[in-house]
Each structure stands twice: as structure tokens, then as C-alpha cells.
Amino acid sequence: MDRYSQTRLSNPESVLEHTGWVCMCSFFIAMELKHLGEDIDIGLLMSKAVIHDIEEVIVGDIANPTKYYSQKLTSEIQSLSGQAASELLSPFSSGMQLMDIWIEAKMGKEGYVVALADKLAVVYKVEQEVLGFGNSTIKGHIKGLREAMEHLRSELPASEIENAFLINGIISEAIEICSKVTK
């Protein structure tokens, strides 16, 4: 299943590629945080990163403008996503445990890192498409992306992540990349 279903890409990206990128990015951010003395559960982080978009294997990548068009539609998509995740995870003996990880994939300290890596994956993809391949059709993602990065900054769990300067630096750099892409 490919991502960016409503956008023409020069270099299509599968859900698996995206998941791998999010796993790697989450791991590197977490290792930097650990180096700064942060208490990060790498096993939990990686579990959340691996499973965060599992439902997209069935439902695909639904664009944010569609996904959040209305409260009712958002609720329906969340329900469909939950059913898809359950269908994929229930065959495993730890299916209920895996569902809990999926539900909480972007919650808590480790989940915050996964959420950040998930947005950084989009920044990277937009930069690659626009600056690397000259594909300006994906530029429309930038406005929402900047807002999403600022939202992540506002939700930084300072009580949980003591080294907020690292996260703020990453977010600032991502916003700067967004500005370069729109020039």
C-alpha cells in the first residue's frame, strides 16, 4: 500500500518504507535523548514505532484534509482504523497487547518521539519530492505540516522530557526545511 494517495509522487513510498523511516528516526532521537540522560524505554519506543500505522495496510493513507474534514468523519475513520488494526493484530497470541500498543503509539514520552518522527518523515518526503525531484504537486502539504510541527512543540511533555532543547531544535529545523521547500 502506498502513502500520499491523493498526491502524485516522483518516488512513491509504501507504508513499510514509511514505517522503517519512522523506526530509524525514532531510534536515533531516543538515543540522543538517552545520551543526554533521558530515561527512554527503547523497547517500548520501537514497539510503538513499528505498529503506529499498521491500519494503513488495509485502509490506506487517508489525507489529513479528508481525515479531519468533520468530527463525524474523523470518528468513522478512527473506528475503521481500529477495526483494521484489530484484524491485522488479533491472529497473534499477544493481539490484545499489540492493540494497546497501537492505541497508545503516540502517547507518553516514547509516543511523543514516534509522533515527532512520523511528522519528520513527511518533512523528509516533501523535501525529497520538491527539492530532489522538482515535484511541486506535493507543496500543498507544507501548510498543514508547519502547523503540525508547531502543535507538536506546544504539546512537548516538558514534565516527561527534560531535554526539550533537543526536541525544539529538531522541530525548528523541520520548520526551516518547510520554508526552503516553499521558496
In a domain, residue 8? The reply is no
Instruction: Map grid coordinates 504537486 to a residue.
Output: 137
pLDDT, position 73? 92
The pLDDT, as a whole number, for residue 81 is 92
Identify whether the C-beta of residue 175 lies closer than 8 Å to the C-beta of residue 126.
Answer: no
The one-character DSSP state at 2 is B
How far is residue 145's CA from residue 127's CA, in Å, rounded to a whole number? 12
Separation of alpha carbons 38 and 94, rounded Å: 29
On whether residue 152 sits in a domain, the answer given is: yes
Helix then strand count (H, E) for the chain reads 10, 0
Per residue of the chain (183 residues), give pLDDT as tens: 788 777 888 888 888 999 999 999 999 999 999 999 999 999 999 999 999 999 999 988 887 778 888 999 999 999 999 999 999 998 888 878 999 999 999 999 999 999 999 999 999 999 999 999 998 888 888 878 888 898 888 888 766 777 888 898 999 999 999 998 887
Domain span holding position 177 = 15-182
CA 48 to chain centre: 11
Tell me whether residue 10 is in a domain.
no
Q: What is the CATH number of the domain that holds 149?
A: 1.10.3210.10
Residue 112, in any domain of the structure: yes
Task: Give residue for cell 538517552.
Answer: 34
Residue 5 lies in a domain: no
pLDDT number for residue 111: 95
How confident is the model at residue 159, as a pLDDT?
63
Q: Work out how many domains the chain is built from and give that number.
A: 1
**Which uninterrupted H or E stretch holds 100?**
helix 95-103
pLDDT over 70 percentage in the chain: 98
Assess if residue 169 is contained within a domain: yes
Q: Please report the pLDDT score of residue 177 as a whole number.
A: 92
Q: Domain for residue 7, yes or no?
A: no
Give pLDDT, residue 42: 97
**How high is the pLDDT of residue 10?**
87
Residue 63 included in any domain: yes
In the numeric block, the cell 531510534 is attached to 27
What are the CA-CA distances from residue 23 to residues 66, 114, 120 (Å)? 26, 8, 12
